[in-house]
Amino acid sequence: MIFDLPGRFWRGNLHTHSNLSDGALTPAETAEVYRNAGYDFVAITDHFRPEYGYPVTDTRDLRTDTFTTLVGAELHAPRTEAGQSWHIVAAGLPLDFEPPTASETGPGLARRARAAGAFVGMAHPSASLLTATDAESLDAAHSIEVYNALADRENRADSWHLTDVLLNRGHRFTTYAADDAHLQPQDPPPCQAWVQVRAEGLDPDALLAALKSGHFYSSTGPELHDVRIEADEIHVHCSPATKLLLTGGHPGAEVAQGTNLTHHKFPLTLFTGTHCRITVEDASGAQAWTNPIHLG
């Protein structure tokens, strides 16, 4: 499990926009919002579209000893079953990443981004109305954006259902939460969803390696202190919570409820299939999620 790995957890947002595409603030102002909120890093992922000049936003000069950035973009190419362009988060792109050709598809663009060294995420599947067929075609994705704070305003923030369908089919995606912040006046406030990445240092290369290896968990509030499997039980230690859930590839759940729960152990009786995960919910309704835990 990631909680025994060397280093510490670094808090970051993987999906953010500046005024180099359709965000409200400059890249420096956008990064400052996250720095002031106590984040350790941010990926500014402006829309990689012709109307914005295909930006790969250079944030290297915003890095300090206590805050860093991942260079990236949100990539677009045709087309999903709903008829829309793909939305693909790519953190860790080279600055000279080439725009898509006229014939390049979303899955092809994602493969090229991954080959160029990026951590590739399937952005807001629920908000994009992605189908399982769509998602399976995006074979270069490392991870699925299972919570998108901006999409909450249209009641499509959560993409766990599609994720579990894919995991039950044998795919091994990780899962992350993100703001998709544009910082426009009408938008939800920023800093609502993030990842906690386990790495030995606040270095972009170390963070990217940890993301690709699944060494992170996601949250909208609670903290996970330890999750481990011992014999036929899974042990959870966390910040004070009102509900702990063990769910996965089997319909149903193991549930612990109470006041200020900080630890619990669940039997794995129901979850002898492909995978399971832990969800922690606090008194405000905020949640944290492990990555899928693969069994057997």
pLDDT in tens, the chain (296 residues): 799 999 999 999 999 999 999 999 999 999 999 999 999 999 999 999 999 999 999 999 999 999 999 999 999 999 999 988 999 999 999 999 999 999 999 999 999 999 999 999 999 999 999 999 999 999 999 999 999 999 999 999 999 999 999 999 999 999 999 999 999 999 999 999 999 999 999 999 999 999 999 999 999 999 999 999 998 899 999 999 999 999 988 888 999 999 999 999 999 887 877 899 999 999 999 999 999 999 87
In the block, residue with structure tokens 């080279």 = 94
Least Cα distance to 30 among 44, 15, 45, 41 occurs for 44
Give the pLDDT of residue 231.
Answer: 87
Distance between CA atoms of residues 55 and 37, nearest Å: 26
pTM listed for this prediction: 0.97
Q: Which helix (H) or strand (E) holds 28?
A: helix 27-36
> What residue type is assigned to position 112 of the chain?
R
> What residue type is assigned to position 53 of the chain?
G
8, 90, 190, 195 from 142: Cα distances, Å: 22, 10, 24, 14
For each of the domains in the chain, give its residue range(s) and CATH number, in order of start.
2-219 (3.20.20.140), 224-294 (2.60.40)
